Chain A
């Protein structure tokens, strides 16, 4: 893996984090490794006819909602996708928030997805977008709490594709 893409080598954040943790004397961070082939559901129709649900793990919430805390918060926030990104706030312990607070679309692209619907690239955008916070250190809680909550929300929507935007 990690073959050069487009003539440039991606930053290896797993190696970078390992080096930092070593330098700080921390035990190594346990990354999830799932080498077995992932489950697969084919697209049912062209994207021009597909309704897309946005799910972002950059810690997006809407003004008026309870913000995420920074210690394995597995909550999910329902954010109306018709609202402008200027109503969206972001909070997260593990990335530099300044650029995303300047323009939440870089981690939660609701404005851009509405524009792609207007352009005809997508058939539609689900009326509710979901904000959550990545960086759940407990794989068990991510698997048993966060993932099922998002599955329940998204499968109850009438959508054809889930767009996942991590940070």
Chain B
């Protein structure tokens, strides 16, 4: 998304990137970013916790208004929990269970295979999409 943010900004559109992957965002270096310390796959917070999600967004927008230096990554102060114990089980795709951690250690590839046909969430989505075309 950093590449997209840079392209938008070059086209005259201000941007704000949310992120929970600090090092990746720092590397691609978008104009404005707001970092929350959350597991991958939870960029805006926890499922079904609307106030947690709104709080994160309010903090990110407030931070964006205060930014005046290109390449700023401001912390929102939002974190998953107080001790960050999930980080021990963090993988490049999320957080693995305690059981998976003891079984596979650092050797498994947790990504799905990169197949080139549409991957629907539900079979009904596929039927709905195919009937529309």
**1/0 per position for B47-73, CB-CB distance to A under 8 A?**
110100110011001001100001100
Q: How far does the alpha carbon of A21 sit from the alpha carbon of B26 in the complex, in Å?
A: 21
Asked if residues B119 and A37 are in contact (CB atoms below 8 Å), the reply is: no
Give CA–CA (A32, B126) in the complex, Å: 34
| Chain B positions 8-57 with a Cβ under 8 Å from a chain A Cβ | 8-19, 21-24, 26-31, 35, 37, 40-48, 50, 53-54, 57
Q: Which of A19, A115, A159, A166 counts the most B-chain CB atoms under 10 A from its CB?
A: A166
Does A129 sit at the interface, judged by CB under 8 A? no
User: Which of B28, B45, B111 sits near A33, CB closer than 8 Å?
Assistant: B28
Assuming the contacts A16-B91, A43-B65, A47-B65, asked whether A1 and B6 have C-beta atoms less than 8 A apart, the reply is no
Contact residues of A between 106 and 157, Cβ < 8 Å to B: 106-107, 109, 111-113, 115-116, 119, 121-122, 134, 137, 139, 142-143, 146-148, 150-151, 154-155
Total residues of chain A contacting the partner, CB 8 A: 93
Contact with B along A60-85 (1 / 0, CB 8 A): 01011111111110000000000000
Measured between beta carbons, the chain A residues less than 8 angstroms from B75 are 5-6
* Residues on the B chain within 8 Å of A151, using CB: 4, 7-8, 11, 13
**A20/B44 contact (C-beta < 8 A), A10-B22, A38-B31, A68-B119 known:** no
Q: Given known contacts A64-B128, A70-B116, A115-B50, is B13 in contact with A89 (CB within 8 Å)?
A: no
Q: A20-B109, A91-B121 are in contact. Are A112 and B53 (CB under 8 A)?
A: yes
**Max count, chain B CB within 10 A of own CB: residue among A11, A37, A96, A112:** A11
Interface CB pairs A-B, < 8 A, 10: A1-B22, A8-B79, A11-B90, A67-B126, A71-B114, A89-B122, A97-B41, A101-B121, A112-B53, A150-B4
- Known pairs A6-B79, A8-B84, A100-B41; list 6 more (Cβ under 8 Å): A5-B75, A24-B107, A71-B114, A116-B61, A134-B1, A150-B4
